[in-house]
Chains A and B, each alone.
Chain A
Amino acid sequence: MTDSTPHSSETPASGPAVGQDEWVARHAERRLIRGGPLAPMEERLRAVPWWVWLTLFVGVMCLLPAVTASGYVRRVAFDTVLYMMLALGLNVVVGWGGLLDLGYVAFYGLGAYSYALLDSDQFHVHLPAYVAIPVVVVIGAIAGFLLGLPSRRLHGDYLAIVTLFFLQLFQTIATNGDSIFGHNVTGGAFGIFTVKPLHAFGHNLVVQHQGVFAVTYYFVALGFFALIYVALRFVNLSRTGRAWRSLREDPLAAEAMGMPVNALKLMSFAFGAAIAALTGTIFASLSASVLPLTFYFVLLITIYTMVILGGSGSMRGVVLGALVIGPLLELLRDPNKSRIIFYVALIGGLVFAFRRSRRLGIVVAATLAFGFVCHAIAGALHHSWIAGSADGGLQHVVSYWLIIPKHLAGWIPPVSYVGVICVALVLTLVHGRLRLVLLPPTLYLAAFVWDNVMLTQPDPARYIVLGLILIALMIIRPNGLLGERRVEIV
Chain B
Amino acid sequence: MADKRLEIKGVSLNFGGLAVVADLDIDVNEGEIVSVIGPNGAGKTTLFNLITGIYRPDAGDIVLDGKSLVGLQPHQISQRGVSRTFQSLRLFLNMSVIENVMAAAYGNTHAGVFRSMLRTPGMRREEREIREFASQRLAFFGERLMGYRWDQPAYSLSYANRRRLEIARATATKPTLLLLDEPAAGMNPVETHEIAELIGRLRDEGGYTILVIEHDMHVVEGISDRVVALDHGVKIAEGTFDEVATNPRVVEAYLGTKAAATK
With CB as the reference atom, state the residue of chain A lying closest to B141.
A19
**Chain A residues with CB below 8 A from B106, complex form:** 239, 242-243, 257-259
B103 x A259 contact (CB < 8 A): yes
Residue A44 lies at the interface, judged by CB distance under 8 Å to chain B: no
A245 at the interface (CB under 8 A from B): yes
Which residues 33-80 of B sit at the A interface, judged by CB distance below 8 A? Answer: 52, 54, 73-75, 78-79
Q: Are A9 and B197 in contact (CB under 8 A)?
A: yes
Whether A5 and B192, one on each chain, are in contact in the complex, defined by CB atoms closer than 8 angstroms, is: yes
Are the CB atoms of A252 and B54 closer together than 8 Å?
Answer: yes
A485 sits at the interface (CB 8 A): yes
Chain A contact-residue range equals: 35 or more
Among A4, A234, A257, contact of B103 (Cβ-Cβ < 8 Å): A257
CB distance from B176 to the nearest CB of A (A): 13
| Chain B residues near A254 (CB-CB < 8 A) | 92, 103
User: Contacting chain A: which of B15-23, B214-222, B231-239, B243-251?
Assistant: B214-222
Q: Is B95 an interface residue, CB under 8 A from the partner?
A: yes
Given A20-B142, A235-B113, A487-B94, residue A245 in contact with residue B89 (CB < 8 A)? no
By the criterion CB–CB under 8 Å, are B103 and A243 in contact? yes
Is there a chain B Cβ closer than 8 Å to A12's Cβ? yes
Contact between chains at B147 and A2 (CB < 8 Å): no
Interface size on B, residues (CB 8 A): 66
Q: What is the interface of chain A mostly: helix, strand, loop, or mixed? A: loop
Distance, CA A298 to CA B119, complexed state (A): 37
With contacts A9-B197, A235-B117 taken as known, whether A255 is within 8 angstroms of B74 at the C-beta atoms is yes
Contact residues in B for A257 (Cβ distance below 8 Å): 75, 78, 83, 103-104, 106-107, 169-170, 172-173
* A239-B111 in contact given A5-B192, A20-B142 (Cβ < 8 Å): yes
State whether A256 touches B54 (Cβ < 8 A). yes
Contact B78 A258 (CB under 8 A): yes
Q: Say which residue of A2, A234, A271, A490 sits within 8 Å of B218 (CB atoms).
A: A2
Which A residues are in CB contact (< 8 Å) with B196?
A: 9
Residue of B with least CB distance to A241? B116
- Bound-state CA distance A318–B172 (Å) is 32
Measured in the bound complex, the distance between the Cα atoms of B100 and A246 in whole Å is 8
Q: Is the CB of A239 within 8 A of B105?
A: yes
Residues of B within 8 A of A234 (CB): 116-119
Given contacts A7-B221, A7-B222, contact A487 B103 (CB under 8 A): no
Name the residue in A25, A250, A257, A486 with the highest tally of chain B Cβ atoms < 10 Å from its Cβ.
A257
Point out the residues of chain A lying under 8 angstroms from B79, CB to CB.
Answer: 258
Q: Give the residue among A8, A15, A238, A249 with the most B Cβ atoms within 10 A.
A: A238
CB contact between A24 and one of B146, B170, B200 (< 8 Å): that residue: B146
Chain B residues 112-136 with CB under 8 Å of chain A are 112-113, 116-119, 123, 127, 130
Tell me, in angstroms, the Cα distance from A178 to B83 when the chains sit together. 55
B92 touching A246, Cβ below 8 Å: yes
State whether B54 touches A245 (Cβ < 8 A). no
Q: B-facing mask of A472-490, CB < 8 A → 1, else 0? A: 0000000000001111101
**Additional pairs, 9, CB under 8 Å, beyond known A259-B103, A260-B73, A487-B93:** A20-B144, A25-B143, A235-B113, A235-B116, A238-B113, A238-B123, A239-B102, A249-B91, A257-B103
Binding site for A on B (CB under 8 A): 52, 54, 73-75, 78-79, 83-84, 86, 88-95, 99, 102-109, 111-113, 116-119, 123, 127, 130, 141-144, 146-149, 153, 155, 158, 161, 169-170, 172-173, 189-190, 192-194, 196-197, 200, 216, 218-219, 221-222
List 20 A–B pairs whose Cβ atoms lie within 8 Å, in order of A's numbering: A2-B192, A5-B189, A7-B218, A8-B222, A18-B142, A21-B144, A231-B117, A234-B119, A235-B113, A238-B127, A239-B102, A242-B99, A245-B94, A245-B99, A249-B95, A250-B92, A252-B54, A257-B172, A258-B79, A490-B88
> Ordered nearest first, which 9 A-B pairs have the shortest CB separation?
A19-B142, A258-B107, A238-B116, A258-B78, A249-B92, A253-B90, A242-B103, A257-B104, A5-B218
